[in-house]
């Protein structure tokens, strides 16, 4: 394992789902006291929005959820695999594209779907069942639903990454079948 452990979230344009996942997971890592051991970033499979901030609806839903969001979109490059321990795809299309882009089989093994870490997903769930739907063409409700999915999955991802960084064993933090996490409750 490299220190720090590096996680990159990837969606299509890096303005909706992946910056949302980056912000949520960064908060989970900080809450767990692992921020000195884990670096988090995000990117898109395409470069259409490079240099832009996250979509205003993404920023709104993150702000409402209490997550900070300073973000500049960028495109994922094959060369990045060498400096990432885990690459998290937000849907099955991203998963396929990232694995195709991976220079080696070892790099392809670093790519997993975010919702594979969610509660209620198990070994029988197919890749399409684990997609975080793209909220871009919808309204605020789609962004709120996306945030809920991301939050649930980030709890499971946190458990997997925590185990990885505290064990010292090399390799990506892979999802475990039957992983279950109760939904987070906001404190009063």
* Phi/psi of residue 4, nearest 5 degrees: -75, 165
CB 6 within 8 A of CB 39: yes
Is position 134 annotated as part of the catalytic site? Answer: yes
The DSSP call for residue 81 is G
11 is known as an active-site residue:
yes
The residue among 30, 35, 31 whose CA lies nearest residue 5 is 35
Determine which one of 32, 35, 60, 134 is catalytic.
134
Catalytic residue among 8, 11, 146, 154, which? 11
Task: Measure CA of the first residue to CA of the last residue in the chain; give whole Å.
Answer: 38
The strand pair at 111-113 and 86-89 is best described as: parallel
Q: Which of 8, 16, 17, 131 is catalytic?
A: 17
Tell me whether residue 17 is one of the annotated catalytic residues: yes
Active site residues: 11, 17, 134
């Amino acid at each position: 394992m490299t220190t720090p452990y590096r996680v990159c979230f990837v969606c299509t344009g890096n303005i909706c789902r992946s910056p949302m996942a980056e912000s949520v997971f960064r908060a989970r890592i900080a809450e767990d006291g692992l921020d000195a051991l884990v670096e988090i970033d995000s990117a898109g499979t395409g470069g259409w929005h490079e240099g832009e901030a996250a979509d205003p609806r993404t920023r709104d839903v993150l702000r409402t959820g209490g997550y900070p969001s300073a973000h500049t979109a960028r495109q994922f490059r094959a060369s990045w695999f060498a400096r990432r321990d885990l690459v998290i795809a937000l849907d099955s299309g991203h998963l396929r594209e990232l694995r195709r882009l991976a220079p080696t089989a070892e790099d392809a093994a670093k790519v997993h779907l975010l919702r594979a870490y969610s509660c209620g997903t198990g070994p029988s769930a197919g890749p399409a069942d684990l997609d975080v739907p793209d909220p871009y063409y919808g309204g605020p409700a789609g962004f709120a639903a996306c945030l809920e999915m991301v939050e649930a999955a980030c709890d499971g991802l946190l458990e997997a990454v925590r185990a990885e960084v505290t064990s010292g064993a090399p390799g990506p933090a892979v999802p475990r079948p039957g992983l279950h996490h109760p939904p987070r409750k906001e404190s009063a």
